[in-house]
Amino acid sequence: MTYDVVVLIEREMSEGDARRVAALHARQEEPVNYHLLVSSHPTEGIGGPLALLGSSFADVAGLAPGTVPARTATATALADPQFDLASVIEHSSRRLRGLNDCRVNVSITHGEILLALKTLVRSTNSQEVVVVAWPETAARFLCSNWPANARRQLNIPRIRVLEHAD
């Protein structure tokens, strides 16, 4: 038996992100299988974890339509799936796999993220969803009661939102 976890990421996972996700399951008795879900459209309403709120990145982040948030030095160093999907997949899965020798499967969605997330949770029998989000996104998730709403919609016992770590 395995413990399956869907990890939804907006951008490439840093070493810190991978360590925090792996630490959540370090005491898990069963082997852990991670299922990375990456959207090829992280800033659009049809993609990215923000679509679970029924909004685009700009709506949730409080930005005017058509504007892009300022990038920090860390964000610049990490790959953005909209521009370099291959690097996001390669680096994120390698970092996560390297911490506890777990299986890491990758799924990409080019469309509606909620449907992709529901399908992946169902097809893998995942018991948990972990969302690794940028600070402004994570704050909006937590202030909006998003985890509880998403848990009901996805019919899953546990959803965690982690703020991106350097």
pTM tops 0.85: no
Rounded to 10 degrees, the C-alpha dihedral 89/95/98/102 comes to -50
What's the rounded mean pLDDT across residues 79-97? 84
Q: Which residues of 76-100 are buried (b: 16+ CB within 10 A; e: fewer)?
A: eebbbbbeebeebbebbbebbeeeb
Across the chain, the runs of DSSP E, i.e. the strands, are: 3-9, 32-39, 103-109, 128-133, 158-163
Residue-by-residue DSSP string for 28-61: -SSPEEEEEEEES-TTSTTSSGGGGGTS-HHHHH
Decide which of 64 and 159 is more confident: 159
Q: What percent of the chain has pLDDT over 70?
A: 75
What's the rounded mean pLDDT across residues 115-141? 87
pLDDT for residue 43? 53
- Give the residue extent of every domain in the chain: 3-163
Please tell me which of 69-78, 108-117, 128-137 the model is most confident about, judged by mean pLDDT.
128-137
CA distance 47 to 113: 5
pLDDT for residue 111? 74
pLDDT for residue 123? 95
Under CATH, which architecture does the 3-163 domain have?
Answer: 3-Layer(aba) Sandwich (3.40)
pLDDT for residue 6? 96
User: For residue 45, is pLDDT > 70?
Assistant: no
Q: Which of 38-52, 54-68, 149-163 has the lowest mean pLDDT?
A: 54-68
CA distance 93 to 145: 29
In this prediction, residue 68 has a pLDDT band, given cuts at 50, 70 and 90, of very low
Give residues with Cβ within 8 angstroms of 55, minimum separation 6. 45
Residue type, 22: A
User: For residue 26, is pLDDT > 60?
Assistant: yes
Residues facing 108 on adjacent strands: 38
Q: Which two tokens stand for residue 45?
A: 């309403």
